[in-house]
Structure formats: structure tokens, C-alpha cells
Structure 1
Amino acid sequence: MSPNALIPSHRKPRRPSASSRALRAGVTGGFLTLAVTGATVPANAAEKPVSETQEMPTITTALATSAARSADTAEQVAFNYERQALQDSAFSQAAKAAEKDKAEAVKKAKAAAKKKAEEARKAKEATEARASRSSDRSTLSAPASASNATGSTATLVSFLKAQLGKAYVLGSSGPSSYDCSGLTQAAFNQIGIDLPRVSQDQSTTGTQVGLDNLQVGDILYWGSAGSAYHVGVYVGGGKFIGAQNSSTGIVERPLDYDMPTGAVRVL
């Protein structure tokens, strides 16, 4: 061994390992810098820079805050659009419902007006009918001259006697058969007096008279006035003529055969 080998300053420098690297890091202008330095380069390799540097963006507080605000803004915009869509839908449904309610109200109002008009028409017709009946009764109850009454009475009694023996048929008004009110109506038609068709109405036509003050031609009724169930005609001498029933037909009978309830005078 050489004497110089023991002297440190004369030792041959150790060749660094090819894989040895030095890592340096630093921040410059907001970027993170990594520097890798190779100690040796193989002899057959091309020349390379001593250091290779990569720069990566550093996430700062301001950048993070800006990103968060952008996300919040986007979320708020989406929420506003959704809320507006819901409001528009609600307004549209409310408008349709209001239109439907309005149409229904108009329909009901028209129906109510039609019903009211119909009721008014019926009331008017009823009033006119009552006025007409009152007028007819006033005409019937007007006093007649003695000669007219005598002539009318004779014609009335003559017609009634000519019907004796004909059949009683409910609802019939002659000439071959009659019911009670049909006979009296037909008899008074002979002297120009138009009586109502049914017993109930005939019992309230003209003037009510007592059974102790009867005159020829008075209408006799059985039952109460306005709801009489049978009528006949007083022909004098304490007798009346009437269409009694289907068994007897048209007959002449004394009052005490079937005493009437009341009487009305139309002559």
C-alpha cells in the first residue's frame, strides 16, 4: 500500500450513486416549485439540465371563497327558477278554478232567474183565473128581471124533466147520460149560464141561500160549500131533480128523500 493512501486528503473521491437525488422545494409567485438534482449522469446519456422543475397551482383562500360563492349563486338561481315555476303553476290552476266557479255561478243565476220568471208567470195566470171566476160569479149573482127569471126558470125546468129516466154515468155530460154536475151544467147552458163542471165549484157559484127560502132554479148541494160531493136543482113544490147514482139514474125526488146541506142561487 502506498504511504499516501492513509492520508485523507489523498483518498480518491467516492463516486456518487447514479440514483442519488437532491430534492429542493420552494414557493415562488403563488406556485409550488420542486427541484430534483441528479448527482451523476451516465456517460452514455445525453446532456440534460441539472434540474427539472414542475409548477402546480396553489389553492389560495380567495380562490376557494370565489368557488364557494359561485356554487351558492348557481344553487340560488336554480331555486329561484323552481320557485317561479311553482308559482306560475299555482296561479294557472287558481285562474282555471276561478273561471270554472264563475261559469257555474252564471249558470246558477240563469237557472234561478228562469225559475223566478216561471213562478211569476204561474202566479199571474192564477190571479187572472181567480179574477175571471169572480167576474163570472158576479154576473151570475146579478139580479134578473121578473119576466126573464120566469122565462129562464120555465126553460130550465122543462129541460130537466126531459132528462128524467136517463142513465147516470160518472163523468158524462149528455145527451144520453149524465153525472150530477154534468146534468146541472147542461141544464143551465140552456138558459145561457155557464156553470163550472164539478160539484165543488158549483156549490160556491152565485149567492148562498137558506133551505127555508128556496126558489125554483136554485142549485142544491150535499156536503160543505167548496167541497160538495153531489148537486141537484130545485124545481118547486118541495122537490128537486138530479142524477142520483148508477142505480136510479136521473130522478125527481122530494127534499126529505135526501135533505141537501145548502143551496146557491144563480138566477
Structure 2
Amino acid sequence: MKQAQRRLMLEAMSRCGLTPGQVWLHYCGNGGRASEAHLALFLQGAESLTELERDILAHAINEMLWDRRHESMVPYATTPAAQALEGPRISAAAAWLLTDTEAEDERLRSLSSTGLMHSGPATVLDELVSEARAAFDVSSATVSLIDADSQYLKAARGPLPRHAPRREAFCDEAIRTAATFVITDTRRDPRFANHPLVVQEPYLRFYAAHPLRGPGGWNIGAFCILDQRPHAFPAAERLTFRRFARRAQQEISRSRHTEETRHRSAERN
């Protein structure tokens, strides 16, 4: 099965003009952990991958085939592994083809497939937000997840509730962007000047967020820093902030891999 699966991967990539580097980016977005060089060697037949890693790679290639409206599909090594990878059926790159409702359904599938909403405390993310709060001298730092109706803070330091209605969450705006979202002074921004979190406790005046992606590239939440004082947030600070967000993204990808492993183990038992 391994050789046949690898051959079909190569054929699909060749027909669609996909490079190992392009595939690797999608593979990482689906929670894969092998390096680009390792994947390239595997495709050349010089290295091996576990069944789970092959299925993650197959899933990434299938997403790209779907994006290109190609009828081929790389088979999965086992049915349980394919089920463990169940997530968005369409990549965020094809969101423009969907209605708003369809796109939101895919985004929620992406969030659900990470297992983050129900996996309990995340020590690495807790440490990361603590580090960010100190680095930027702000009152709060968080990793937020946005589900259908609410915001859940997977990791948080500061005077913010763990759960809040989605309609009141600043991060609901952040997940609609592809880049860092910054409000240097909420009282001077007409979108937020009368927001409950601005005119009432905790009286937020500064907010910066970078979207965090789940499988398929869908924005499932954000890495954020917040404060009761306005901040200029110059270019150097924005660069440092994006580095923090990148570390949060890496941890979310690892969580996806852990959830797949847990699901696979449960299927075996």
C-alpha cells in the first residue's frame, strides 16, 4: 500500500504541477510534522513515513487537487486514519466559491477537527501568553478560539473572561483578516468606540491580534494582546508580535497531530 500510495501522490502532483514545497505548506497546515526535506525524500522513494503521516500528506494533496477542481484523489492508507483526518472539505483558498454560510460551516469543521475546544489546559500556550504579556507590557494576552456563537480563551493572562458571546469578541473581526489586526486606540476607532469592552470593564483601549489557522487554512481563532492604554505599536513590535503568533500556530498544528493520534488509538482499541 505504501508504494502504491506514494506513486499516486506523485502522479497527482505531476498532473497538477505541484511542487514538494507547495504540498509541504498544506501538509503543515493539516498538522504534519515531517520536514520539507523528509517529504521530498519520501516522494523520491528514499525515505519512509508512518501510515498516519502518509495520510496527512495525502489529505494535503487532496485539498490541493480539490482547489484545482481535479477529479483524482490520493487514497488513504486505512479507513480509520482517513476518519481521523475528517475536517474541512474545502480549503480556505476556495472560500470565494462558497456562500457565507458554507464558508462558516467549513471553518467550524476545521476548528472541531483540532480537538482544541475540548482538550483542556494547554501548558505551552499558557506559557506563551505569559511571555507575551511581559514582553509588550500589556494587561492581557490570549489565544482565542471562535466557535459558532462564542469566544473561548484557550490560554489567557489578564482580566478577561474565558467565555464570551461571539458578537462581543474583538477576535471575531480578527479572524476575518489574513494579516495582523491592530487597533492602537479603540476610542478613536468608530468600529469599537462604543463597544461594551471599551466603555465598560475592562475598558480596553488597545488590541492586536493575528489569526490562527486550523486544517484547510481556515481561521479558527487569534493570538492577541490587549491593554487599558493606547499603544503606538511600531513596525519592530509588530514583527516581534508575529513571531509570538507563529509559535502559537506551531502549537496548534501539534495539537492537531495529537488529536489524530488519539483518534487513531481509540479506533484500534
TM-score range normalised by the length of the shorter chain: under 0.3
TM-score, normalization by structure 2? 0.21
TM-score by length of 1: 0.21
Query: Of Structure 1 and Structure 2, which has the larger fraction of its residues in strand?
Result: 1
Decide which structure has the larger Cα Rg and report it.
Answer: 1
